[in-house]
Each structure stands twice: as structure tokens, then as C-alpha cells.
């Protein structure tokens, strides 16, 4: 009988406590039509709810490509990516729906220059989610107030400092209440004195329990914010662990070499 059979199956293995927010399984990425050198070579990465994973590695190691694959801006060549247990790399999946659950912030500020900060932030909820303008603006103002930008809501992006623009870009990614936030070198285009305010905001998100994957060259920040650091080398996660282990006492010679070059 069906009922007793279902009771005896170990369905608990798929229960909520064991489902990761993000699961990358054997993810490969090769660019171009003719098979060249793969940029990602079998990435396995699980991220638990509230976990903060920091990706480090030399320029060209595949950090951005991995984040872009997770956000479905790039199509994986092989392997699967799951969000809350649902396979988003399935060709039949609704990419737009999945992308709305994942916030991505890039290195360069991607605010639309012809829109005010408020219109930038409310564009997605109004167009994609069909939220009423008033409701979207109220949610936006709450978030802008939290990041200290309430007085800039009616300004255009070019009237803001780089750090303010980047904080506005983060608010724009947060407005959809994403399950997962991805940050790709969000401070590398900033003047040094503006880096701190953006990193502080990412630190606040960690306090709020946001699940995040962060690519960064800021090792001090990686140490403070990461639950786990992954060292990418030529498209593989060569080494991973708690920040104090990977950053202070790495096992792999290539990790040591990378960290030595930074100082
Ligand atoms: P990282 O972010 O770690 O610096 P990237 O993911 O940007 O590394 O790049 C990894 C490799 O993939 C690099 O060799 C880069 O040239 C290549 N690459 C990235 N995007 C493309 C693309 N659209 N077409 C072809 N090659 C690409
Ligand atoms: Mg990159």
C-alpha cells in the first residue's frame, strides 16, 4: 500500500534542514563554439542558509564566470545548479523567475544614469513583479534609509559618490528579497576611502542572516565576513575552509603563492 511505503522511505534526506540554498554540482563552463580550455572545471559548491562563502583566486581563475553561471547570465556547459533544491540550470526552467531570487552586484556600478536612485531601485519590482508604484517606493525608501541614502533618493547616479552608487546598487538587488546575494569585486572600482562603507553594508547583510557568495581581493574583509573561503585556481576549487585556515595556514602551494603575491 502506497501510504506505508511512503512512510518507510527515507524522505527526510530531502527535508528542509538538509537542502542548501545553493548547490553547484560538477559545473563546467567552456566559452566559444569550438571546445577550448574550460574556464570552470567541475565546480562543486554548496552554500547553506545564512552562510557566507568568499571566493578568492587570481584574476582569470573563474570567479566571475561562476557567479554569472549561478545568476544564469551564462549557461553552464555541464553540471547542475540548484536554488533551494530546484534545478535552475534545467533548460526548461524559467530563468527570469530564478534570477529574481538571486541578487547580483558587480564591480562597476550598474545604475541606469537617466533614472533617479529611487527609480533605479523600484524598476524591477514595478516592471517584473507588477508591484504598485507606491508600495515599491515605500519598500525602496525603507531600504535606502537603512543604508543612509534616503536623502539621495531623488538624485541621479552621477550626483552620488562611487560608494553611494554601489550602496544604491546593493539596495536595488535587495528590493526583491533575494534568497541569495552574489557580490563580484564590488569595491575594486572604488577610491580607497569609499571601500569601507560598502564593505560595512555587506557586513550588515551578514548580520541579518543573508546567504551570500562574494568574490573579493580584500583579504581583510574576507577574513571578517567569510564563514568559508574557497580558493579558485584555473577553474577548480583547489582549497576551502574557514578563513583562518585558508588564509593563514593554506595546505596547497598554489594558495600560498597567491596569498604571498598579495602582500
Ligand atoms: P576572474 O573573475 O576570476 O578574474 P573570470 O571568470 O572573469 O575570472 O575569467 C575566467 C576566464 O574566462 C578568463 O580566462 C577569461 O578570459 C575567460 N572569459 C570570461 N568571460 C568570457 C567570455 N564571455 N568569452 C570568452 N572568455 C571568457
Ligand atoms: Mg572577476
179 and 84 Cβ atoms separated by less than 8 Å: yes
Please give the distance, rounded to the nearest whole angstrom, from the Cα atom of residue 55 to the centre of ligand 1.
Answer: 15
The ligand 1 site (C-beta within 6 Å) comprises 31, 39, 57, 59-65
Residue owning the nearest CA to atom 15 of ligand 1 = 60
Output the pLDDT for position 3: 43
Q: Is the pLDDT of residue 263 over 80?
A: no
Which is the closest atom of ligand 1 to the Cα of 59?
Answer: 4
Segment 190-228, tens digit of pLDDT: 888 889 999 999 999 999 999 999 999 999 999 999 999
Which is the closest atom of ligand 1 to the Cα of 184?
Answer: 2
Q: How far is CA 102 from CA 34, 97, 177, in A?
A: 30, 9, 9
Residue owning the nearest CA to atom 14 of ligand 1 = 60
The protein residues having their C-beta less than 5 angstroms from ligand 2 (an ion) are 63-64
Interface confidence (ipTM) of the complex: 0.98
Please give the distance, rounded to the nearest whole angstrom, from the Cα atom of residue 126 to the centre of ligand 2.
Answer: 30
Q: How confident is the model at residue 125 (pLDDT cuts 50, 70, 90)?
A: confident
Output the pLDDT for position 19: 79
Which is the closest atom of ligand 1 to the Cα of 57?
Answer: 3
Output the pLDDT for position 17: 54
Q: What is the pTM of this model?
A: 0.91
Amino acid at each position: 500500500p502506497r501510504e506505508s511505503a511512503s512512510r518507510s522511505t527515507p524522505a527526510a534526506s530531502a527535508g528542509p534542514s538538509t537542502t542548501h540554498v545553493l548547490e553547484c554540482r560538477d559545473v563546467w563552463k567552456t566559452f566559444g563554439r569550438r571546445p577550448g580550455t574550460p574556464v570552470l572545471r567541475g565546480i562543486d559548491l554548496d552554500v547553506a542558509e545564512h552562510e557566507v562563502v568568499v571566493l578568492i583566486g587570481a584574476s582569470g581563475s573563474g570567479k566571475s564566470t561562476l557567479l554569472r553561471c549561478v545568476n544564469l547570465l551564462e549557461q553552464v556547459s555541464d553540471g547542475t545548479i540548484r536554488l533551494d533544491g530546484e534545478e535552475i540550470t534545467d533548460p526548461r526552467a524559467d530563468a527570469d523567475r530564478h534570477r529574481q531570487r538571486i541578487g547580483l552586484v558587480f564591480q562597476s556600478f550598474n545604475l541606469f544614469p537617466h533614472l533617479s536612485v529611487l527609480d533605479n531601485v523600484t524598476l524591477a519590482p514595478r516592471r517584473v513583479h507588477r508591484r504598485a508604484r507606491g508600495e515599491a517606493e515605500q519598500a525602496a525608501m525603507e531600504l535606502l534609509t537603512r543604508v543612509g541614502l534616503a536623502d539621495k533618493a531623488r538624485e541621479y547616479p552621477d550626483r552620488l559618490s562611487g560608494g553611494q552608487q554601489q550602496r544604491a546598487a546593493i539596495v536595488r538587488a535587495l528590493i526583491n528579497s533575494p534568497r541569495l546575494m552574489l557580490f563580484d569585486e564590488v569595491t575594486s572600482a572604488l577610491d580607497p576611502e569609499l571601500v569601507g562603507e560598502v564593505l560595512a553594508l555587506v557586513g550588515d547583510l551578514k548580520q541579518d542572516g543573508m546567504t551570500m557568495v562574494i568574490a573579493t581581493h580584500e583579504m581583510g574583509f574576507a577574513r571578517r565576513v567569510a564563514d568559508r573561503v574557497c580558493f579558485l585556481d584555473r577553474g577548480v576549487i583547489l582549497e576551502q575552509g574557514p578563513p583562518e585556515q585558508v588564509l593563514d595556514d593554506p595546505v596547497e602551494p598554489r594558495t600560498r603563492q597567491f596569498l604571498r603575491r598579495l602582500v
